[in-house]
Structure 1
Amino acid sequence: MAGQMATTTHFIQTSNWYSYFGDEAKVEALIDEGTKECDHNLIQATFSQQEAELISQIPLINCNREDTLRWRCTVNGIFIVRSVYYLQGEIRDRQKGQCSQVTQTQEEWTRIWKLLITPATKNFMWRACLNILPTKAKLSKKKILDDPTCPICLREPETIEHILWECPSAADILRQCSRKIQKPQINYNSFRNIVEDMFSKLNQEEMAEFSMILTSIWWKRNQYVFKNIMIDPKSMIYRN
């Protein structure tokens, strides 16, 4: 549907739209000609409550241009057959990328699953690799917290790679590990890259140790955040 609403993508599934207005209806049918505002009574009568709320939240653009149909694959918005081939290639490349990513994710999970560690540690490593641990940076991005700063060092945003790898608190623990596990002088883009690099350097036993140490670092962090208890790093290596 096109009209005088700002460019926003919503998926409207109701069938009432077509029964009320027909196949050729446009968004302007929902706008009061006199006030140039949305006709909320009409919207509520036509759509479900959830859909009506979504539609009512779309800001209106103050202009008098008529609705037009535009083809997104050309600069001028006019459809040409040649652009379909480019679109087909774009879709094919995107699908290849998705398949490659799925394969890579499955391989990572298989390697983690084969480690001789507890199911809880496997689950933790998997969640960390997917970047879904509730760090302050993650919660701040979701508008749950205002401050993304690491609660321990108070210097950097608390991302997963920071709290488990870069933070001085984590470094104190990693320094006590076997030499292969100790933090190398390498800058990683993500925690996932850290795990991939460690899998390439460590054997199964060492990788299991590494996974348990990272789990302990996260446990130490939670003890401080939720119980205000600061654990001595020297006791961490023996916790598992």
Structure 2
Amino acid sequence: MLIDQDLHCWKRDLIELVFSPSTAANIFSIPLGVHGGVDLFHWPGTSDGQYTSKEGYDFMRLLLHRDAASSSSTAKLDPRSWKFFWASRALPRCKETCWRAICGLLPLKESLFRRHVDVDPGCGFCASERENEDHIFLQCPAAKHIWFASQLAIRVDSFTSFQAFWTAVIAMDDDEVLAMAQTVVYAIWEARNKVCFQQGELVVATVLRRVASMLEAAQVRDLARAPSVSLPAKWSKPAPGGGYHQMQL
């Protein structure tokens, strides 16, 4: 105990011995109750102060939802931006992965670590910084190299966050740029997973070839879905004495 119950004061010698000066000063700044009494456990989630496993589960679920809402960037993009985002010609898996990254829904290491998952929060590429959306997709040297070496040739150093980057991409109102950016994000995520789970090595040229192949696949898909163009049939008056109608194209 850090409180002398008889003298009703902090045990200064013990506190100064155990804690750092700044922490000790913070402890001493906490006023002690004037009435004394015995400390009791009280659970704030219920009216009677009694803890139950159900109340504990509901409390943890509330914390998880609050963390997800605070990390989500969905509300920062207006509905028109999202409409343009989903109308992109990129492959569906590229758009979905990119959307999950913007909304903070990818299982990145920092997010897992925050939720008490036993995982090293370091970046899967460089391991020098914590792995979050801003770092893995923009600030990591590997990501910077990929963006600059891609057809977009973007220097992402000027962007303060992943959200700011996507706000700028959507503001360009260029479907080709949007589709390529979505595909690059997917390729970075795919490369990261191979490094983390398959002990692979990051090869920028391989990532760029993957981007090119997915963009080509999206183009082939669009061509296959395009409606075939047929010339309308034109009726012509039958020749005198003829018994058949002729259709000319």
Specify which of 169, 175, 192 is matched with residue 204 of structure 1: 175
SS in 2 for 1:111: helix
Q: Which residue of 2 aligns with 1:236?
A: 207
Rate the CA distance shift 1:237–1:53 in 2: closer, same or farther, 3 A: closer
Taking the aligned partners of 1:214 and 1:162, their CA distance within structure 2 comes to 12
SS in 1 for 2:200: coil
Taking the aligned partners of 2:56 and 2:143, their CA distance within structure 1 comes to 49
Q: Which residue of 2 aligns with 1:133?
A: 106
Letter of the 2:175 partner, please give it: Q
Specify which of 28, 40, 50 is matched with residue 54 of structure 2: 50
Aligned-pair distance for 1:238?
Answer: 2.1
Letter of the 2:171 partner, please give it: S
1:183 matched to 2:155? The reply is yes
Deviations 1:154-187 (A, max 9, x none): 2111111211111111122112123x55124314
Q: Which residue of 2 aligns with 1:174?
A: 147
Aligned-pair distance for 1:151?
Answer: 2.4
Q: Aligned residue pairs: how many? A: 159
Q: Are the aligned partners of 2:86 and 2:95 in contact in 1 as well (CA < 8 Å)?
A: yes
Q: Are the aligned partners of 1:181 and 1:206 in contact in 2 as well (CA < 8 Å)?
A: no
1:193 matched to 2:164? The reply is yes
Aligned-pair distance for 1:5?
Answer: 6.4
Q: Are the aligned partners of 1:164 and 1:214 in contact in 2 as well (CA < 8 Å)?
A: yes
Larger radius of gyration: 2
Taking the aligned partners of 1:164 and 1:52, their CA distance within structure 2 comes to 36
What's the TM-score, normalizing by structure 1?
0.57
SS in 2 for 1:154: coil
Between the aligned residues of both structures, percent identity stands at 21
Aligned-pair distance for 1:53?
Answer: 8.2
What's the TM-score, normalizing by structure 2?
0.55
